[in-house]
Chain A
Amino acid sequence: MAIRIPVPASSTIVSRLAAIVGPEGVSVSDLDRLHYSRDMYPGTLILQSEGVRESFPDVVVWPENTEQVQQIVRFAAEQKMAVVPFGAGSGVCGGTTPVRGGIMLDMKRMSRVIEVNDDDLSVTAQPGIMGQNLENELERRGYTMGHFPSSIYCSTYGGWVATRSAGQLSSRYGKIEDMVLGCEFVTADGEIRRAPEAPGEALGPDWRQIMTGSEGTLGVLTEATCRIWPTPETRLFVAFTFPDVPAGVQAMRLVMRHGLRPAAMRLYDPLDTMMVGTKGAEEETSGVGIMDYVPLDAIGTKLRAMAPKIFRRAQRAVNRWADVGNKLEGLARQGCLMVLMFEGSDRLTRFEFDQTIRFCERLGGRNLGPEPALKWYRNRYHVSYKMIKVFYNQAFVDTIEVACSWDRVARLYKDVRDAIKTKAFIMAHFSHAYPDGCSIYFTFVGSAMNPRAAHALHQEVWRDAMDVTVRTRGTISHHHGVGLSKAEFMPRELGDGVKLLRALKNAFDPDDVMNPGKLGL
């Protein structure tokens, strides 16, 4: 089925936009618009092979400075055209889906590092710079931002701020909202606004916290200042196994409660432990590597190429992820792996490291030495790659990152698992710990006889998981954001808080120009 791409924006609009950003900065080509029609939302990926694409932008624009953004937004407001700010499109929630068409505002031409300030330990950069580029730039000068989402290669600085991103080392460096010292953005009324840069402002509401996570619904981020740190002197690794999930969770809780700040602390549930393996980095095969499991792959690529449809159907027929999961569950006997990493200034880091080891050992953790943690560190961005293989093999994989306070962590883990495990293979790890709670990161793999059914199953899994989470009073998203896919759950997530959100939207963007349909707005 061919994808039907709707008619682009009229030539008048294009010429008006070209007058702002120059002819090079505007495109209405079908291909461009096709590529801006989705992000990494698995729900769309499942239907990829069916050729289903629902929404397209009318025009793609690449501004080069704040003033151009301002003029574009003013123009859009005048035309009542939607504006969808776009970073690198790596989101997994459909946050950049142009549900009402309009202008796709790609920020990646605004990618300068404006200033690295040594006194203030801050970096000021434009939003379009890719995460890893920014980190490289900082590393070159002897700093780190400490923000390492697994999407660091494929996400932008601005995207981090807009979606309330959290990196893998958040326990030590904080999440993006802890890092943002100041920002500049253009709101729907066409004004350039700056949130204060001085630390600890007490002047009314903190607009940085309102803009961080607004997912482009209130304005376009055009510049942000974030805190940075000197490159750490020391980096220390250790891993433990705990007999079960509650024991491991208990250890995490105690470490955080005593004010220790591991750079990373991740606890894998028995199934996930089995997948990653508890051996060191040299033995890459130590884990089961279920994501690498390819049914019928032995038959070879030739057959696949010859009769792709039949092959796919056959693959779907043998994909039995839920059953695999349930079988493996009984076999998972290695306990729960916890990997720990510390970094920072030499003496303090070592002090905290030793104290943490004492805590873990006291709580029944078996010390495995640094190897498994090193292995995690080397492979820390790999999860994003594994996704490809699963989709390639006609299954789907998605992740659900919820969070709640410690008193409910065990229950939330069990309830979500119980709700999903008959429908898909599900495993989890606990990470991003805080003194008051932690995040649970579920990975589920599923499949169905055809993409439509798979899509339906995917939706069903999400609905069930979200339902359980809301009932357990967890948050439905710890760090992926809301976008389009979780929009329907927002009223339950926020309760009457939706009113506040709606009021904000009305104040900044009464005509609903900015990224419509997101955040449940």
Chain B
Amino acid sequence: MKRFKGNIELRHKLTDIFGPDRVREGALETLIYSHRPWTRSLLEMKAGRLPERLSFIVWPETVEEVSRLLRLANEWKVPVIPMGTGSHRRGAPAAPGGIACDMKRMKRLLSFDEDSMIVSAQAGMLIWELERTISRRGYTLGHVPPTAPSSTIGGAIATRQAGRLSARYGRIEEMIVSLQAVLPDGSIVKTRTAPRSATGPDLDHLLIGSEGALGIITRAKLRVALSPERRVFAAHAFSSFENGARALRLVVRAGLRPSGARLMDVDETRAAFRGTKTADEKCVLCLAFEGREERPGVEEEIAAEIGRKADGKALGEEPSRVTFERSYLDGFRRHHVLAETGGVADVMDFAAPWSRVGALYGAVRKALKDRAEIRTVLGHPTPNGASLSFFVTARAENGDATALFDALWADAQRAAGRGGGGVAHHFGGGAQYAARLFRRERIGRTVPAGEGRARPERDFESGPAERGERIAAGREATVSDLFTRYFKEIDYCTFCPKMCRFSCPVANVTGNETYTPWGRQTVLHLVREGHLPFNREAATAMYQCANCMLCREYCDYLVEVPPVMIAARAKAVEEKLAPHEVIEYRDFSRRKTIRTATTCGRACATWCRTRISRRTRKVVYFAGCSHLYHYPQAVQDTFRVFEAMRVDYVACHEGEAMCCGAPLRELGLEAPYKRKRGEARGGAVALQGDRVGQPAVRSRAADDLSGDGF
């Protein structure tokens, strides 16, 4: 394929369309954009084989820009890869030398017609962002793909995703009212918007599942549903997988629409309920119903009756609740295996009509069982069929994990074809689909349903669900620790399909994959493995993190990316690769005059100074330099509150003695930071009383000064 890398003329043309800020061709970014978090590409990377790079990345903001891009691409005969968040687990086609068209800056909610329950949004909007917005108004999209937090609307449509609640809310294509897309020749197409129409083929379906091959989806109108008022759980145990499948079939056949339905085989039951009584059961069917008023209860009772008739044993609601509250751990298990043992792990999905589910189950297991451990879940039931997910883990005996991976997939597919799985039947020539057979992945968390909740819930009802082991290694690591102490952090993030992506402010503002936690950690992974030099570009990427720790909130392993970044920044400073702004800040912080005169209003400074004179008070208030700088009014208001409450307090101003040095540390300036901390120690220890203050300062003080009487 022709390379366009460094092509100045093409860059100029792209810059004409997007402006200089929205065209990139850096080696690092193009590499990150060429890499995908799917198992095979991870294995390749582990083996040291890097993907071929793209030439450019562009971030369109309007549909016209997309159109101009495609016209230009046609003229130059350069491939264009539309991208959402790149969380697709089956790997989008690589196009070395092409242009990645990153849609994430087209992320606006355009309209929400509550009467018709239709929401219109740009393709780059994250599904969870949309869910969050509409849930405040009492609606839900009901689409929870396994990669829910990191899927864009456009990506979900282009890959024809099935969400975890598909039995109740339908698959993504059933939610689509109409689409706007740019065809390969650059023309902009809008499909009709009626609830249903008989004017010819449903053209939406040319674009749905087309993976960008037939056009770039820029906007979608989607149907939403009313948020459920309640959820009901139920679990039943069956003596065999066949009996369980029969019961589930009868449930959907009766017209029930469970929001969650998972039938686990013996192996999965044992693994999923390890350590509980339920693990002794043979096959467990977990059901969840949701809806308004008494409906979920009525549906559950009907289902219970069906379960009883099918010789099921009612297990109560607990196993089911646990199952659906469990987060994405399933998905991570395979990463775990990968990271730990150098083996292979993946999920293989095959759909089949009910009459062939049993044969499919047997055939795939038989084909793989000698080489791999297989656990199976039956889900996504419709009255006509369901899909089987095989969780396959294996160890590469001879060390060639990629070959093992390919062999397992090939055998599974062949077996599925014999067993009557979906892949056996397809339209037209087989070869064109062969490469694309690896698609749906359907484990995941259940949809956030509550109204007005601040963030996507981790579970149905309760607070933070049980998480996996905490691997956070702590916050203080030096340059030398970076690749040892944070080894696991770096690997876990590298192997993750960007579950926290939606929460990262930097990723959201820039819309750049390199600047996601996943992207930055992948850079470190590659550096560590010697695939990538730690150069100025990589160093700059390490600074694209606001240290807000939101990513940790959405990580089941509580991986903390910021400390890793800080250590990496220290590396950057040490190797003299830090951006010039950092060096400027270092010099700035050395100047003695910076304190009150420039960073804090004069009035505020007076307030502070008068109160620090007395050293013993009940309350010691740490205001924090960024608060003093940006929100002096807030600090003064706090003082007024203290006074109104007659609190005996003292405020620490941000003078030299009390600077905690956090900004320096966060910029990777270790030496100046240590100096500051030493100075702070003297001041802090002298102060007695209960300490309150701006959360960041308090936590910093608690962390950094804990050895000093804090």
A residues lining the B interface (CB < 8 Å): 117, 119-122, 163-166, 175, 177, 181-182, 191, 193-207, 209-215, 218, 227, 229-230, 253, 257-259, 344-345, 347-348, 351, 355, 402-407, 432, 434-439, 473-482, 486, 490, 493-497, 499-501, 504, 519-520
Contacts and interface: CB of A to CB of B under 8 A. Distances in A.
Given A120-B355, A198-B385, A437 B195 contact: yes
A198 B421 contact: yes
B467 interface: no
Contact of A348 (B198, B203, B255, B425): B255
Interface stretch (B23-31, B124-132, B433-441, B604-612): B433-441
A203 B433 contact: yes
A432 B198 CA distance: 13
B206 A205 contact: yes
B254 A345 contact: yes
A439 B226 CA distance: 22
A200 B116 contact: no
Given A200-B387, A351-B295, A436-B118, A403 B196 contact: yes
A499 B186 CA distance: 12
Interface residues of B, number: 81
B166 A477 contact: no
Nearest to A204: B209
B427 A196 contact: yes
Contacts of B116: 405-407, 436-437
B159 A202 contact: yes
B383 interface: yes
Contact of A407 (B113, B382, B425): B113
A437 B221 CA distance: 13
Given A121-B383, A181-B384, A200-B162, A166 B198 contact: yes
16 contacts: A120-B384, A121-B253, A177-B202, A193-B427, A198-B350, A198-B385, A209-B202, A230-B253, A259-B225, A405-B116, A405-B193, A436-B177, A439-B195, A475-B199, A493-B192, A496-B187
Nearest to B205: A209
A199 B385 contact: yes
Contact of A495 (B190, B196, B210, B223): B190
A271 B164 CA distance: 47
B220 to A, nearest CB: 14
B457 to A, nearest CB: 22
Interface string B554-594: 00000000000000000000000000000000000000000
Contacts of A175: 196
Contacts of B81: none
B160 interface: yes
B208 interface: yes
A457 B441 CA distance: 57
A495 B193 contact: no
A214 B298 contact: no
B690 interface: no
Nearest to B223: A436
A396 to B, nearest CB: 22
Given A479-B196, A501-B201, 10 more contacts: A200-B351, A203-B422, A203-B426, A351-B295, A404-B195, A405-B194, A436-B118, A437-B116, A481-B198, A481-B199
B201 A203 contact: no
A451 B255 CA distance: 51
Contacts of A432: 196
A258 B422 contact: no
Contacts of A439: 195-196
B117 interface: yes
Nearest to B256: A348
Interface stretch (B50-58, B286-294, B524-532): B286-294
A259 B140 CA distance: 13
A478 B199 CA distance: 8
B189 interface: yes
A199 B226 contact: no
Given A204-B210, A345-B302, A486-B199, A475 B351 contact: no
Nearest to A199: B385
B214 interface: yes
B352 interface: yes
A198 B422 contact: yes
B188 interface: yes
Select the residue from A164, A204, A259 with max chain B CB neighbours within 10 A: A204
B134 interface: no
B193 A473 contact: yes
Interface in B385-440: 385-387, 421-423, 425-428, 433, 436-437, 439-440
B207 to A, nearest CB: 8
B173 interface: yes
Nearest to A490: B199
Nearest to B295: A351
Contact of A494 (B203, B205, B423): B203
In terms of DSSP, what is the predominant structure of the interface of chain B? loop
Given A197-B353, A209-B205, A258-B292, A482 B200 contact: yes
Given A196-B422, A203-B436, A497 B353 contact: no
B513 to A, nearest CB: 23
A220 B11 CA distance: 48
Contact of B202 (A197, A210, A402): A210
B598 interface: no
Contacts of B270: none
B35 interface: no
B365 interface: no
Contacts of B210: 204-205
A432 to B, nearest CB: 7
B15 to A, nearest CB: 28
Contacts of B425: 182, 194, 196-198
Contacts of A202: 159-162, 209, 439-440
B183 interface: yes
Nearest to A217: B200
Contact of A437 (B194, B353, B440): B194
A177 B115 CA distance: 25
A41 to B, nearest CB: 15
A22 to B, nearest CB: 30
B354 interface: yes
B351 A210 contact: no
A186 to B, nearest CB: 13
Contacts of A195: 427
B500 to A, nearest CB: 25
Nearest to B383: A121
A201 B351 contact: yes
A490 B200 contact: yes
Contact of A504 (B188, B201, B353, B423): B201
B198 to A, nearest CB: 4
Contacts of A203: 209, 422-423, 426, 433, 436-437, 439
A494 B199 contact: yes
Select the residue from A347, A477, A500 with max chain B CB neighbours within 10 A: A500
A213 B201 contact: yes
Contacts of A482: 198-200
A199 B189 contact: no
A317 to B, nearest CB: 37
A501 B203 contact: yes
B177 A121 contact: no
Contacts of B292: 258-259
A351 B187 CA distance: 49
Contact of B189 (A215, A227, A475, A499): A499
Contacts of B298: 347-348, 351
A303 to B, nearest CB: 43
A504 B196 CA distance: 21
Interface string B324-361: 00000000000000000000000000111111000000
Contact of A229 (B166, B201, B383, B385): B383
Contacts of B117: 257, 435-436
Contacts of A436: 116-118, 177, 195, 223
Q: 9 closest pairs, A vs B, by CB?
A: A198-B422, A475-B194, A437-B195, A209-B205, A475-B197, A199-B385, A405-B116, A164-B198, A119-B355
